[in-house]
């Protein structure tokens, strides 16, 4: 691929060479014709210069006519050559500019499903490539906007679904209290406990939405400090041991006693581990096992929370960290808003860590978290 400068230089050189060659050819041709038509023309003209006779003047006029014809033909050859080569060069340039103009009109009309073709010249090709990159960026933004719109629609659908049940329950129990159905202290306490538990569900939903919005907008505030992960996870395992036993699960603890310190926001990390442990309880089988392990892996702490539950379909593993995602099977009988893993992923990545999932359907799920260790 040549540059425009090289093409301009090449075209200029061709103009000079071709014009010179044509002028030489015209000159030789006219001299040949003149020598045939006027066999002694050159000698008479030369003699006329010294003698200035009338005949010699007549021969001089004849030569002058040939000279004028030569000048006209020479200028015509030069103009034709320059015009042809210039037109060829400008045609290629105008073709690229026309293509860019058409691309600009398509973008103006909102049509981004096309491709700006490459050009012969380096500078014009760079311009075409830059224009195509703009088109691709606009198309990516359009696709992102479409996904955001779908996500907002999904948000509204999930919110209406997740809020309808607790609100209906609260409304029903309040109406029962108002109508005097709770006619004993025990029944009244039961109604109030149910209302309170459903209020907690709504509060968690609102908190999840607020936290997810802050993460998406980059407004999440962190209070980093040195955290002993061994101590934190040991307390977490003890806290969920009773709940797991009540649900009929076995709780296993594989936390090594070595002290492992990271820099992080304790409340945010607790939010992540609470969500993962809740999922292990929520999606586990009756009589299943929940395991929490911690070990040192290179220069970081590797945490694994696993269960022996229903697992995740292979096609869904890459979707579980998307906001508001839930499998269809889980949607009908397991409560949740699909935000937990999306929030967890962003919090872990904000701590310069990684989170990933290994799962097999009808076997169980393992969630791994890697956090870099710090010295203090």
233 and 326 both lie in a single domain? yes
Report the 10 Å Cβ neighbour count for 18: 17
Label residue 366 by pLDDT band (50, 70, 90).
very high
Expressed as residue numbers, the domain containing 205 is: 156-217
Query: In 60-79, which positions are buried (b, 16+ CB within 10 angstroms) versus exposed (e)?
Result: bebbeebeeebeebbeebbe
239 and 213 both lie in a single domain? no
pLDDT of residue 334: 44
Closest of 66, 72, 20 to residue 42, by C-alpha: 66
347 and 231 both lie in a single domain? yes
Say if 259 falls within a structural domain: yes
Closest of 120, 128, 121 to residue 101, by C-alpha: 128
DSSP 194-221: HHHHHHHHHHHHHHHHHHHHHHHHT---
Helices (H), the chain: 4-37, 41-51, 54-108, 122-178, 185-217, 229-246, 266-282, 328-333, 340-350
Say if 140 falls within a structural domain: no
207 and 98 both lie in a single domain? no
361 and 229 both lie in a single domain? yes
240 and 364 both lie in a single domain? yes
Q: What is the pTM of this model?
A: 0.54
47 and 90 both lie in a single domain? yes
pLDDT at 5 over 90: no
pLDDT at 16 over 60: yes
Say if 146 falls within a structural domain: no
pLDDT of residue 294: 94
257 and 213 both lie in a single domain? no
What CATH number should be reported for the domain holding residue 347? 3.30.565.10
pLDDT of residue 36: 74
Closest of 349, 243, 251, 258 to residue 291, by C-alpha: 251
The last residue of a domain, from among 175, 199, 217: 217
Q: What is the pLDDT of residues 64-102, one digit of tens each?
A: 777 788 888 888 888 888 888 888 877 877 777 787 888
246 and 340 both lie in a single domain? yes
- Strand-pairing partners, residue 250, are 289
The count of structural domains within the chain is 3
233 and 366 both lie in a single domain? yes
266 and 313 both lie in a single domain? yes
- Whether residue 66 contacts residue 30, with contact meaning beta carbons closer than 8 Å, is answered with yes
Q: What is the pLDDT of residues 175-209, one digit of tens each?
A: 888 888 888 888 888 889 889 888 988 887 787 77
Q: How many CA atoms lie within 13 A of 214 on its CB side?
A: 14
Q: What is the pLDDT of residues 204-238, one digit of tens each?
A: 778 777 777 776 666 778 889 999 999 999 998 88
98 and 48 both lie in a single domain? yes
Say if 166 falls within a structural domain: yes
């Amino acid at each position: 691929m040549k540059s425009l400068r090289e093409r301009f230089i090449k075209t200029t050189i061709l103009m000079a060479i071709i014009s010179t060659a044509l002028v030489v050819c015209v000159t030789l041709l006219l001299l040949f014709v003149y020598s045939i038509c006027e066999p002694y023309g050159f000698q008479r003209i030369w003699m006329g210069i010294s003698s200035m006779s009338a005949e010699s003047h007549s021969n001089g006029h004849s030569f002058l006519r040939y000279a004028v014809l030569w000048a006209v033909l020479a200028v015509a050859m030069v103009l034709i050559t320059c015009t042809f080569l210039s037109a060829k060069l400008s045609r290629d340039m105008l073709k690229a500019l026309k293509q860019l103009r058409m691309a600009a009109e398509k973008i103006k009309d909102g049509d981004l499903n096309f491709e700006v073709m490459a050009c012969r010249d380096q500078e014009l090709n760079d311009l075409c490539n830059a224009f195509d990159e703009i088109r691709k960026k606009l198309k990516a933004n359009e696709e992102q906007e479409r996904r955001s719109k779908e996500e907002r629609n999904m948000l509204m659908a999930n919110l209406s679904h997740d809020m309808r049940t607790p609100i209906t329950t609260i409304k029903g129990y309040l109406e029962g209290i108002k109508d005097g159905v709770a006619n004993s202290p025990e029944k009244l306490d039961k109604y109030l406990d149910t209302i309170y538990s459903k209020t907690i569900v709504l509060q968690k939903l609102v908190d999840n939405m607020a936290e997810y919005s802050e993460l998406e907008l980059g407004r999440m505030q962190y209070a980093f400090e040195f955290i002993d992960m061994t101590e934190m996870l040991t307390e977490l395992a003890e806290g969920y041991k009773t709940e797991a036993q009540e649900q009929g699960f076995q709780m296993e603890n594989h936390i090594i006693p070595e002290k492992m310190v990271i820099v992080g926001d304790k409340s945010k990390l607790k939010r992540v581990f609470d969500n993962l442990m809740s999922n292990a309880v929520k999606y586990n089988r009756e009589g299943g096992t929940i395991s929490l392990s911690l070990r040192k892996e290179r220069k970081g702490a590797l945490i694994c929370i696993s269960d022996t539950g229903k697992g995740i379909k292979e096609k869904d593993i890459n979707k579980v960290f998307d906001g508001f995602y839930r499998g269809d099977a889980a949607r009908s009988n397991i409560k949740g808003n699909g935000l937990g893993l999306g929030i967890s992923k962003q919090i872990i990545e904000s701590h310069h860590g990684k989170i990933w999932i290994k799962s097999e359907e009808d076997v169980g799920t393992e969630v791994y978290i890697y956090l870099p260790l710090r010295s203090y």
